[in-house]
Structure 1
Amino acid sequence: MHSYPPYAITHIHLDKAPQLPALVCQNQGNYLVFWWKNVALGHSFIEAGEVIDLSQWPSVVTKAIAAAVENYIDKAQVDAVPWQTWLADIDTAQWSNWLGALLKPWAPEFIPTKAPVSVIICTRNRASSLKMCIEALHRMTCQPTEIIVVDNAPSDDSTKKVAESFPDVRYIMEPSVGLSYARNAGIHNANSGIVAFTDDDVLVHPEWVYRVWETFLDPSVFAMTGLIIAAELDTEAQQIFEKHWSFNRGYLDIAYDRAYFKRVESAGPPVWEIGAGANTAFRKEVFNKVGLFDERLGPGAAGCNDDSEMWFRILVGGYTIQYNPRAVVYHTHRREIKDLKRQIYTYMSGFTTAALIQYKHHPRSGYIKQIYWYLPKYYASLVRAGFPHFTFRSRTLWVELKGIVSGLTYYFKHRNQPSQSLNR
């Protein structure tokens, strides 16, 4: 019987307390997230029973934040300095002064109280989570122009009651089952030129809306995604998800543009790596150019990947998607294995259907090779690696394979059914 002790999540603000924090190592692991003010720089897993002392601490910090710091050095176009040496020598003052100066352009002292952003939360029968999500939105430093709750084919009025308990929240009921229907209803009703999506199981960082709006100050950007940090890692299911299916796309700015698409086009662009729908936003005009979300995709239809299929169409259209790691939200992963399995099943079903839709839309992409060549080889290797016990990562293998079959079946059943959203 394998034991998976919880990870305590500790957010370490290097501008305030760069020294080694007090960590409990017995009967739990530690997940450390490193920040400079409100700029996330990296994370580190410390396993249960693993004791970190003062001499090891600088190397833990350096390993976690090195890629992000070098990224900011490149963006600022400043000369490299031996900051790793300063950290290793525990020259805290020199290191902190330099890092603060480096990151000053990304740590604004003034943030507007409101930004022209419509925040859309698509939800179904999760009133308690929705309430916490909206409360977190109201705690933000910069408020959106509007918050829209789209209630997708509800079975009761609990979502409506929560939404209407907040005077500034607009409630919309979308009767057609499927996340894409709900997203499209939100877009149709949004009044701002920027529409941002988050999920009901998410808590947003106080600067989230500001960082979303800031991203679109670049006129070449038509969509964006942001950093998603785990809110808790208490259970085996949550740890499996974070270590093998994580929404966290790292701490570096990445522009997914024409050059990126050209590099990956023939191999099947891995658009699912761009981000996750729990933290994404769009310039509203892009939907006039590429269409709305495909109703054949998303939970309630084929599965997930309605967001990544949208990013694919945006890239095919020659538009840029920006990953901004300073736009941060916190996601609560599924706590139980049965719920994780159901989630992963929908992921793989949606992934398969979306890949085939994307191939049909853009035959030069290499998704056929992925589905019929790469995936069988990949899963054969996972089965061999997991045999015979099939623990941790291997616990979801069977539902992943079933999900792929489901996606294939769904696609061939609906392949000639045009999505109404693509014609709007």
Structure 2
Amino acid sequence: MSSYPPYVITHIHLDKEPQLPALTYQGQGNYVVFWWKNVALGHSFIEPNQVVSSAQWPNVILKAIEPAVARYAAKAGVDTAQWQVWVTQEEVSRWSEWLGTLLKPWAPDTIQPQVPVSVIICTRNRAASLQLCIEALNRMTCQPAEIIVVDNAPPDDSTKKVAESFANVRYVMEPSVGLSYARNAGVRNSTSDIVAFTDDDVLVHPEWVYRVWETFLDKSVFAMTGLIIAAELDTEAQQIFEKHWSFNRGYQDIAYDQAYFKRVESAGPPVWEIGAGANTAFRKEVFNRVGLFDERLGPGAAGCNDDSEMWFRVLVGGCTIQYNPRAVVYHTHRREVKDLKRQIFTYMSGFTTAALIQQKHHPRAGYAKQLYWHIPKYYGSLLRAGFPRFTFRNRTLWAELKGIVNGLKYYYEHRNQPSQSHNQ
């Protein structure tokens, strides 16, 4: 048997099936995601060969969903003590009724059929994945005003053929190599006041675009990110990513506002924790304030972090970014370790370049100390802990270190080349 057997992903809708489901226990692990209707509340890793009994199941539920439920209850001013007792004592009807009442404002029975949002998919040479992504968008119960596919420096016409096979998709070709160029082309070609980005290796939840639009009903919000759940955890590489590099930012609303920024400014704001570009959106007017995506960042340039550098500028510009866990997409992680290593290399390269760009534009940020002091200490401890076998989490260590070096090199080679999209 493999040292890293797959995890079977099971989505449990507590409004329909609060009892212990028929999980798979044939050497596999189980990754269970708990929902109330279309509101995701938490997840639990049940490790390979770990069997959960019916008596243990209420505690699994409680541990997974308690933080999110507590946050929803705090918003509503509702006491949470009794429902926890009802769960542990398996008084299902009582806690189900309580949870349903609590979450009703966030789980409407009906939603409107269309919202004024432009959905942008930036892609290159992945026609099969793009096809599935668009099909999922078209299955949503609420549709966007438009879907734009930006084909980045295409080597052939495969992407164009897929895009043009859908009557509701607009095709845009961006000749300059780099994700930031593609994103900027999408923004420039969009017609809605809200622009949402997703990736070609993502499947969206049926309510995704509605939840994106809903976030911007708060006029103080100028950008948002949402919950990204793993679509599969079949391989070691996918498990490494989900357990150590996950896009999942949790099940509770988070406002990244000026109070947040002031708290973290001097230490180097960890803007990469805000979300991921596979599930992000912006009020279009924010680009007039802070500029478009920096073309020195993103795949095809320094690496990644064009999204987090944009979030940094949004915060510096005095605007709020909202994390909305009800805006859900499912991401397919890289299946092979070699592909994961390449991905992590680009992450760390982009992270390093972005941190130095952010430091240059906002000298009060503490990224230089982080890069030249804290990160070497951190990786020194990882190298000592991983030596000599460097298994699982530590399999990507050398790719990470090479990425950091590459990011430093890239920054110093391009530091005097301002982005055409950067508002000075």
Interval containing the TM-score (normalised by the shorter chain): over 0.9
The alpha-carbon deviation at position 2 of structure 1 amounts to 6.8
Q: Counterpart of 1:322 in structure 2: which amino acid?
A: Q
CA distance in 2, matches of 1:84, 1:41: 15
CA distance, structure 1, for counterparts of residue 86 and residue 323 of structure 2? 30
For the residues of structure 2 that align with 1:80 and 1:35, how far apart are their CA atoms?
18
**Separation in structure 2 between the aligned mates of residue 238 and residue 80 of structure 1, nearest angstrom:** 36
State the distance in 1 between where 2:82 and 2:393 align.
39
Question: Aligned partners of 1:103 and 1:206: how far apart in 2?
Answer: 18
Question: Separation in 2 of the partners of 1:186 and 1:234?
Answer: 33
Letter in 1 for 2:143: Q
Q: 3-state DSSP class of the match of 1:82?
A: helix
Equivalent position of 2:312 in the other structure: 312
Q: How far apart, in 2, do the equivalents of 1:345 and 1:79 lie? A: 46
Q: Partner letter of residue 377 of structure 2?
A: K
Structure 1 alignment gaps of length 5 or more: none
Structure 2: 5+ residue runs without aligned partners?
Answer: none
Question: Given the alignment of the two structures, is residue 37 of structure 1 paired with residue 37 of structure 2, yes or no?
Answer: yes
Distance 2:170 2:26 in 1: 47
Does the 8 Å CA contact 2:142/2:206 hold for their aligned counterparts? yes
- Tell me the residue number matched to 1:4: 4
Amino acid at match of 1:132: L
Deviation per CA, 1:368-414: give whole Å up to 9, x if none: 01100010000001111111110000000001000000000000000
Partner of 2:22: 22
How far apart are the structure 2 equivalents of 1:264 and 1:276? 19
Q: Please give the per-residue CA displacement for 1:196-229, whole angstroms capped at 9, x wherever unaligned.
A: 0000000000000000000000000000000000
Give 2:344's aligned amino acid: I
**Could you say what the CA RMSD is over the residues aligned between the two structures, in angstroms?**
0.9
Deviation at 1:24, TM superposition (A): 1.5
Is the contact made by 2:290 and 2:423 (CA closer than 8 Å) also made in structure 1?
no
Q: What corresponds to 1:390 in structure 2?
A: 390
**What is the match of residue 240 of structure 2?**
240
The match for 2:275 is: 275
Distance in 1 separating the partners of 2:368 and 2:250:
28
Paired amino acid for 2:392: F
CA distance in 1, matches of 2:240, 2:80: 37
Tell me, what secondary structure is at the counterpart of 1:335? coil
For 1:168, the equivalent position in structure 2 comes to 168
Structure 1 length-normalised TM = 0.99
What's 1:217 paired with? 217
CA distance in 1, matches of 2:423, 2:152: 22
Where 1:125 maps in the other structure, the secondary structure is coil
Quote the Cα distance in structure 1 between the aligned partners of 2:81 and 2:247: 32
Indicate the SS of the match to 1:166.
coil
Q: Find out whether 1:292 has 2:326 as its counterpart.
A: no
Cα distance in 2, alignment partners of residues 423 and 353 from structure 1: 18
The aligned residue for residue 302 of structure 1 is 302
Alpha-carbon distance in structure 1 between the residues aligned to 2:333 and 2:274:
19
1:88 aligns to what?
88
Aligned-pair CA distance for 1:78: 1.9
Task: Provide TM-score, normalisation by structure 2.
Answer: 0.99
Which residue of structure 1 aligns with residue 74 of structure 2?
74
Structure 1: distance between partners of 2:409 and 2:193: 38
The equivalent of 1:329 in structure 2 is 329
Looking at structure 2, the residues matched to 55 and 61 of structure 1 have their Cα atoms a distance apart, in angstroms, of 11
For 1:368 and 1:82, the matched residues in 2 are separated by: 49
Displacement after TM superposition at 1:148 (Å): 0.1
Residue 338 of structure 2 is aligned to residue 371 of structure 1: no
Q: Which range moved further: 404-413 or 23-32?
A: 23-32
Aligned-residue offset at 1:81: 3.4
- CA separation in 2, counterparts of 1:229 and 1:199? 13
CA distance in 2, matches of 1:251, 1:202: 19
Equivalence for 1:261 = 261
Structure 2 distance, partners of 1:23, 1:79, is 32
Partner of 2:57: 57
Give the match for residue 153 of structure 1: 153
**Deviation above 4 Å: which 4+ runs of structure 1?**
none
SS of residue matched to 1:334 = coil
- Partners of 1:28 and 1:405 in 2: how far apart? 38
Q: Secondary structure of the equivalent of 1:289? A: helix
- Alpha-carbon separation, structure 2, partners of 1:386 and 1:364: 35
In structure 1, give the amino acid aligned to 2:263.
R
Q: Determine if contact 2:226/2:326 at 8 Å carries over to the other structure.
A: yes
**For this pair of structures, how many residues does the alignment match?**
424
Structure 1 residue 76 displacement after superposition: 1.1
What is the CA-CA distance between 1:421 and the residue it aligns to?
0.5
Q: What aligned pairs does 1:109-258 form with structure 2 within 5 A after superposition?
A: 109-258=109-258
Aligned residue in 2 for 1:345: 345
Aligned counterparts of 1:248 and 1:214: Cα–Cα separation in 2: 20
